[in-house]
Amino acid sequence: MKYCFAFLFAFISVSINAQSLKVSDEKTLANFYTYALTQGKSYEWLQHLTTQIGGRMPGTVAADKAVKWGEKTMLDAGFDKVWLQPVMVPHWERGNKEVAYYTINNKKINLPIAALGNSIATPKKGLLAEVVEVKSIAEAENLGEKLRGKIVFFNAVMKSSHIRPFTGYSETAGMRVNGAKAVGKYGAVGVIVRSLTTNLDDYPHTGVMSYRGIPENEKIPAAAISTNAAELLSKHLKENPSLKFYFKQNCKNYEPKLSYNVIGEITGAVNPENFIVVGGHLDSWDLGQGAHDNGTGVVQSIEAARLFKLMNIQPNNTIRVVLFMDEENSGTGSIKYAADAKEKNEKHLGAIETDSGGFTPRGFSIDANSELFSLVQTWKPLFEKYGIYEFFKGGSGADTSDLKSDTILLMGYKPDAQRYFDFHHAATDTFDKVNKRELELGAGSIASILYLMDSYLK
Amino acid sequence: MKYCFAFLFAFISVSINAQSLKVSDEKTLANFYTYALTQGKSYEWLQHLTTQIGGRMPGTVAADKAVKWGEKTMLDAGFDKVWLQPVMVPHWERGNKEVAYYTINNKKINLPIAALGNSIATPKKGLLAEVVEVKSIAEAENLGEKLRGKIVFFNAVMKSSHIRPFTGYSETAGMRVNGAKAVGKYGAVGVIVRSLTTNLDDYPHTGVMSYRGIPENEKIPAAAISTNAAELLSKHLKENPSLKFYFKQNCKNYEPKLSYNVIGEITGAVNPENFIVVGGHLDSWDLGQGAHDNGTGVVQSIEAARLFKLMNIQPNNTIRVVLFMDEENSGTGSIKYAADAKEKNEKHLGAIETDSGGFTPRGFSIDANSELFSLVQTWKPLFEKYGIYEFFKGGSGADTSDLKSDTILLMGYKPDAQRYFDFHHAATDTFDKVNKRELELGAGSIASILYLMDSYLK
């Protein structure tokens, strides 16, 4: 396209219900977006967090650095109060890079592989065994004792036909989380899972797995292999069902460690003891830089509150930015935040979480009673000029759902998700995959919701 | 984000007006999307077109290759008829890479620079002159004779505050197109323009310029410099307003050359003499690979028609895929297509153009009479489940607008545009910037519109 003066948008003008919204709301929202796009800090913050600190697994040195960075960034942004909330977090590290291969037709095939988070290591010499390929936990369990001595290969394809990629993720993530737990009891010796992306590529996508509730002797090592590797292995298993697969991983669960949620506040002018939370998680997987998951959410949360300062808007209630520690592994940060809030009897009016990537804004999920759900629908027309049309019932996110009550308004920021699983939990989740404008439009959108929450929640 | 079974979409179910839409339409559209996402060819076609053929300026060897590729691809796709429509196109080539620099404080500053399309070369030794910085053509014209002997530096910033990036482009592209024409008459010796992107980066973004209607002796060379270079030059001009800027470019306008629009048809079952066009332009700028501009539109157009074949849908009317040659330079291909159609008295019911990048679908522009505009609004509910909400009055695109009549329905495919000007007309417009799912969702969207046009236009 070269040149298009003829390209004129003629949107139906937003009709605001004067009874429920203030005339000034439209103008205030426009300012949030303008400031985010022209005086935004989110992109340069993200560059630092991702390229200078990088992947930040809970309990690691990088996570400690991220805590310090978050605290300093909020202090520099002029927040009224910034503090660290101590929390004991699990500490798992990958160790040396994993190795996997098998031999077929006298040819050695090396595969891209990455241990799943929380997994134990293989024996020091690695693990060599025949492979049983299945498409589901149920299929594996049906095989029962036939799994003894075998590596179970969960090769369920994340379907590309779903319009919303998260649907395909929800259908398959259970194998990654619970696959090893389900087959250890039958004497399986290891688990490999097909990476959760609709792409055919060479990147293993890690993610959390769990041994919860099973005895020590049933714990077996689990890892993800790339989708291309999964396709190839599946093909070769048809040629030679008794081929032996080797993998070696060196990951380790250490003792839990002291870490922190990083919290910053802009004090409310009218009801400082009422809180509205905006947040994302500060920790990330270690293979990439934790850019879309969830560096973008971290910087958008800080930026959304900073825009209030920049525009000299003092909120009625206290706006609290929470950078949650340990979302990816076991959620200790969000549990701690909610428990402390309950103990202190803090009144939380609302919360918005951003943990679905830093892409173009599309909508918001809403988890609230019907009255609050209806209230949010009155805000919808304000967002159409920003290309935001979707206000739907759905969970707010893993870190804010612990705040759930009969009276709180929980919301999730839901940007365009088509690219998300190109990067999710993989080495590809790096700063260069984030577009500045998309990130900033997200910050403007989240600030707008915070403002409306602050104006209309009681 | 790790794991979100709780993430449930609860969209208000699409309520179809049974009087105006067939019940089967919803199902057919679902199939278009499913086939595009699971059996699509667009991504592998795009890979070939962009990485094997690359940038394809009208009149060049690469453009010839692209014509042959387009013809073969449509034949392989099983179209009923494929042919080449001859058209004489301009032939401009960049020649050796351009050079630009100036010296300040005894330091030589090299700048990323690229000649604008159609521009003449500098003298062989290059051009050295003082610089006059302006923000608009009006400001330059006010300076009049003060421009004599000078290089005019159009340094208008493409505003980042617009929510729709095309708005900022429309505000500034006039300087690129007409800047040199406007100042040559005052004796200016050259023009440099700030690249049209909201980013601060090191890529010159080229694009067409015009000498139309001015005498030979007023033609002066014109080039784009990167935005970072523009910022630096502007700063240094404040320090030393008489610094001398040097640039050398070797581009050349050759004699017009025979080229082709590539056309493929799926013959209509009921009214084969009625045509519905889907198309994008096959030519591209030379700095990158012409991926988003407009390889994506080319492959989406072919794919949209191929989906009819794949799903065994024979259209009522003839669907014609047109890969237009020479959109970027002078539009000879679209003029030729419209002229031939008029000469043959071909009845065109509708046309949809895709030339705004291969990003996630957001909406469609509509250029038609009020009755047709209203008809299209009845289709809107069908698209909500695909995240498409915007059906607005606007031009269809540069290649289809020549078909404009009182009775035709012209539409433009309008995906998310936030990333478009990262790549537009620059070396960054490469295959790796295109996401497979976004591309395929676009193909499904365009096929759906074609299907509805075919079902409801008369």
Helical axes A23-38 vs A370-383, angle rounded to 10°? 60
Is pLDDT above 80 for B76?
A: yes
- Determine whether the interchain pair B328/A2 forms a contact, defined as Cβ–Cβ distance below 8 Å: yes
Q: How confident is the model at residue B14 (pLDDT cuts 50, 70, 90)?
A: very low
- Using a CB-CB cut-off of 8 Å, the residues of chain A touching B392 are 9-11
Average pLDDT over residues B254-270: 98
Taking contacts as CB-CB distances below 8 angstroms, the residues of chain B near A198 are 437
Query: Least CB-CB distance to B5: which of A170, A293, A357?
Result: A170
- Asked if B394's CB is within 8 angstroms of A8's CB, the reply is yes
Tell me the domains of chain A and their CATH numbers.
23-90+255-456 (3.40.630.10), 95-250 (3.50.30.30)
Sort out which chain A residues have CB atoms less than 8 A from B419's CB and list them. Answer: 435, 437-438
pLDDT reported for residue B1: 60
Half-sphere exposure of A386 (CA within 13 A, CB side): 35
CA A285 to each of CA A117, A180, A200, A420, A430: distance values in angstroms, whole numbers, following the listed order: 8, 20, 21, 15, 11
Q: What is the helix (H) or strand (E) element at residue B78, kind and residue range?
A: none
Count CB pairs under 8 A between chains A and B. Answer: 157
CB-CB neighbors (< 8 A) of B37 in chain A: 160-161
pLDDT, greater one: A225 or B3: A225
Name the minimum distance, in Å, from the CA of A153 to any CA of chain B. 20
Lateral strand order in the sheet of B190-194: B107-110, B99-104, B244-248, B127-134, B151-154, B190-194, B222-225, B113-115
**Cis omega (within 30 of 0) on the bond before B294?**
yes
Residues in chain B: 458
CA distance A33 to chain B (A): 8
Instruction: Check A3 against B160: CB less than 8 A apart.
Output: no
ipTM of the complex: 0.94
User: With bands split at pLDDT 50, 70 and 90, how would you rate the model's confidence at B20?
Assistant: low
Residues of A in contact with B355 (CB under 8 A): 1
Tell me the percentage of chain B whose pLDDT exceeds 70: 96
**Where do runs of H (alpha helix) occur along A198-350?**
227-239, 296-310, 332-343
* Percentage of chain B modeled with pLDDT above 90: 95
Q: Which residue has the tokens 């040659």?
A: B325
Query: What per-residue confidence (pLDDT) applies to B294?
Result: 98
Other C-beta atoms closer than 10 Å to the C-beta of B34 total 18
What's residue A21's pLDDT? 76
Statement: residue B367 has pLDDT above 50: yes
8 Å CB contact of A418 and B441: yes
Decide the pairing of beta strands A190-194 and A222-225: parallel
Residue to test with chain B: of A2, A116, A227, A325, most B Cβ within 10 A: A2
Classify residue B96 by its DSSP letter: S
Q: What is the pLDDT of residues A22-50, one digit of tens each?
A: 889 999 999 999 999 999 999 999 999 99
Query: At how many degrees (to 10) do helices B296-310 and B61-76 cross?
Result: 10
pTM (2 d.p.): 0.95
Residue B104: other Cβ atoms inside 10 A: 16
B220-B225-B227-B232 Cα dihedral, nearest 10 degrees: -90
In 3D space, the residue among B433, B431, B411, B412 whose CA is nearest the CA of residue B421 turns out to be B433
Q: Using an 8 Å Cβ cutoff, are B74 and B262 in contact? A: yes
Q: What is the mean pLDDT of residues A235-246?
A: 98
Q: What pLDDT does residue B4 have? A: 44
A247 token code pair: 């993998």
Calpha distance A384→A361 (Å, rounded): 11
Q: Which chain B residues are within 8 Å of A177, Cβ to Cβ?
A: 3
Burial of A202 (0-12, 13-18, 19+ CB in 10 A): middle
State the amino acid at position A455 in one-letter form. Answer: S
Contact criterion met (CB < 8 Å) for A416 and B416? yes
B372-383 pLDDT tens trace: 999 999 999 999
For residues A251-256, average pLDDT? 98
**Residue B9 pLDDT class (50, 70, 90 cuts):** very low
CA angle at B298 for the pair A157 and A432, rounded to the nearest 5° = 60
Residue A17 has pLDDT above 90, yes or no: no
Please calculate the CA angle A106-A110-A114 and round it to the nearest 5 degrees.
Answer: 150
DSSP string, B258-315: EEEEEEEEE--SSEEEEEEEEEEES---SSS--IIIIIHHHHHHHHHHHHHHHTTPPP
Rounded Cα distance between A85 and A341, Å, is: 11
Contact A395 B4 (CB under 8 A): yes
From chain B, pick out residues whose CB is under 8 angstroms from the CB of A356: 1
A348, B264, B294 from B337: Cα distances, Å = 63, 13, 18
- The string of pLDDT tens digits covering residues B190-234 is 999 999 999 999 999 999 999 999 999 999 999 999 999 999 999
- Residue A404 above 80 pLDDT? yes
- Residue A20's pLDDT is what? 61
Cα B42 to Cα B245, B310, B383, distances in angstroms: 45, 13, 21
- Give residue B61's pLDDT band: very low, low, confident or very high (50, 70, 90): very high
Task: Check pLDDT > 70 for residue A87.
Answer: yes
Chain B, nearest residue to A383 by Cα: B163
Nearest residue to A387 (alpha-carbon basis) of B166, B146, B217, B124: B166
What is d(CA A409, CA A388) in angstroms, rounded to the nearest whole number?
19
B34: nearest CB among A1, A5, A161? A161
Separation in Å, CA of A128 to nearest CA in chain B? 30
Q: How far is A242 from chain B (nearest CA, A)?
A: 31
Which residue of chain A comes nearest to B437, CA vs CA?
A: A418
pLDDT at B19 over 60: no
Q: Rounded to an integer, what is the distance from CA A242 to the centroid of its chain?
A: 38
Closest Cα in chain A to B324 = A1
Cα–Cα distance for residue pair B367/B409, rounded to 1 Å: 6
Q: For residue B15, what pLDDT band results from cuts at 50, 70 and 90?
A: very low
Are the C-beta atoms of residues B375 and B430 closer than 8 Å to each other?
A: no
Closest approach of B4 to chain A, Cα-based (Å): 6
Q: Pairing state of beta strands A317-324 and B222-225? A: unpaired
d(CA A372, CA A366): 9
